[in-house]
Amino acid sequence: MRIGIMSFAHLHAYAYADVLNQLAGVEFAGIADEDAERGKAVASQLGTRYFNSFEELLKADIDGVIITAANADHRRLTEMAAAAGKHILCEKPIATTLEDGLAMEKVTREAGVKFQMAFPCRYVPAVQRLKAQYDDGLLGRVVLLRGTNHGKMPGGFFIDPEAAGGGAVVDHTVHLVDLVRWIFQTEIKEVYAEIDRRFHDIPTDDCGLLTLELTNGAFMTLDPSWSRPDDFYTWGDLYLKVVGTNMVTEVDMMRQSLERIGSQDPNYQWEFWGSNSDYGLVKEFVACIQEDRQPTITAQDGIKALEVALAAYESAKTGKPVKLDN
């Protein structure tokens, strides 16, 4: 199995490359990048081949690609990969517009290639345990959810409104929306949001608060902000509290960590020892190719998550709730 990576614009590309080098029977076949200097440097650092263009990479003897470009480039690169018959793992959000997301679903389906969205949080053991508890009826009827996805301001294309399609809200909303849809088998029917820029001098939003009404009757609040300072001890968090009629439970993706406090500099150290959700994500992508089956996270999942983020921007602009078709 030979997999290439299209663009290192997104920081997650480094984590995915690391997983490719860990998986037995998988070869990290090479990199193509719109920034030649960056691409050559990364290829040298990771010990793989640099291709001078995306077209050259797609002509190579590879089975699939991981697309980690700017959000606005996802459609173009997906169409190129589908035309070349390569299977695709695409970074989130799926695109910057619903039109592009729907086009990506159509082109990959018609080309007969597999398309998997990069929602690695599904592979966190605590998240999977929560889903099992819900499926077994232990939670009862879900009444209320509270989620946060805080992080550092990433810079780069993320703060270019055209390249990213927004700021913190589009970047961080999609993870928790996907988890809620997947775990509870529900859709989001209405979105109300307040969005602003409070932490950084950037052209995009860096904070927001969403209130969501779900088709299963539950309500949810979501804070998807870039509110962590640059020197924060980790990139951020992903937290979900669930209030059910039978029990209350919570998932904290960064809870599996070790804190060390001492007298020497640095006097505070934080180390994460928990599971590698990126490993589960990339392993699933490789497995669906090997087993010739559809991925468990589809383009439709990406479209539905994007729909909620875009509705949040519309709500913040109009000051009114936005209803979604389901």
| Band of pLDDT at residue 101, cut at 50, 70 and 90 | very high
- Which contiguous run of DSSP H or E holds residue 179? helix 168-184
Q: Is the pLDDT reported for residue 220 higher than 80? A: yes
| Band of pLDDT at residue 259, cut at 50, 70 and 90 | confident
Structural domain includes residue 187: yes
| CA nearest neighbour of 75 among 63, 88, 62, 85 | 88
Q: Is the pLDDT reported for residue 27 higher than 80? A: yes
Structural domain includes residue 10: yes
Same domain? 33 vs 104: yes
Same domain? 226 vs 311: yes
Domain boundary among 113, 146, 171: 113
Check residue 235 and give its pLDDT.
83
Q: What percent of the chain has pLDDT over 70?
A: 100
Same domain? 174 vs 203: yes
More confident call, 259 vs 19:
19
> 61 is in which domain, residue-wise?
2-113
| CA nearest neighbour of 177 among 301, 16, 76 | 301
Among the ranges given (3-7, 29-33, 185-189, 264-268), the one the predictor scored with the smallest mean pLDDT:
264-268
Q: Rounded to 10 degrees, what is the CA torsion of 22, 24, 30, 31? A: -40
Structural domain includes residue 201: yes
Structural domain includes residue 287: no
- The number of distinct structural domains making up the chain is 2
CATH number at residue 9: 3.40.50.720
| Band of pLDDT at residue 270, cut at 50, 70 and 90 | confident
Same domain? 170 vs 315: yes
Q: How high is the mean pLDDT of the chain?
A: 96
